[in-house]
Amino acid sequence: MAKPKVPGLFKGLGVTFGTLMRTATEGSNTIQYPHEKETPPIRARGVIALHEGNCTSCMLCARSCPDWCIYIEGHKELAPPRRAGGAPRKVNKLDRFDIDYALCMYCGICVEVCPFDALFWSPEYEYSEPRIADLLHDMTKLGEWMETVPEAPELEAGADKKGKK
């Protein structure tokens, strides 16, 4: 089925006119944001949430952050021993865990590097602020984002099998 040869000039005009008619009849590809909202994909990189209990303040995230937007301070505390008669445990207690979203470039290295699953991606994206200083999210705020973190999707078949290496 040979299509008739159309000069490129008219083909170009046809493309724009076709898009014009399609937008007029079927609607545009864009959405009117503040009035209607798009559901982001489940693994969208919206904001980083902190699961405080998992954090050992090992500083790996802060050190791997390309623009140094994570600030961590912590101290060691003694916790009661696990077994009766044992020595008291030393645990790391977070004093400060801030992410400056004015600096963050959403590369996700901190989430990847965290060895204890303390950081998670959440698809929430509506947290703009009139003042730039308010983009520094502290530990409490980062903890609140945990509620928006979706359940991890099911692993693909065979992904959890421990094979021989």
Should residue 23 be labelled a site residue for other proteins when binding is judged by CB under 8 A?
Answer: yes
* Residue 38 within binding range of other proteins, rule CB under 8 A: no
Question: How is 27-82 classified by DSSP, letter by letter?
Answer: --SS--TTTS-PPPPTT---EEEE-GGG-----HHHHH-TT--EEEEEEEEEE--S
Nearer to other proteins, 22 or 93 (CB): 22
Among 17, 106, 125, 127, binds other proteins (CB under 8 A): 17
Q: Does position 107 bind other proteins by CB under 8 A?
A: no
Q: Is 32 in the site for other proteins (CB under 8 A)?
A: yes
How many other CB atoms are there within 10 angstroms of residue 55's CB atom?
21
CA separation (Å) from 30 to 16, 27, 36, 54?
Answer: 17, 8, 11, 40
- How many residues in the shown chain lie near other proteins by CB under 8 A? 15
Q: Is 20 in the site for other proteins (CB under 8 A)?
A: yes
Judged by the rule CB under 8 A, the positions of this chain that interact with other proteins are 9, 12-13, 15-17, 19-20, 22-24, 28-30, 32
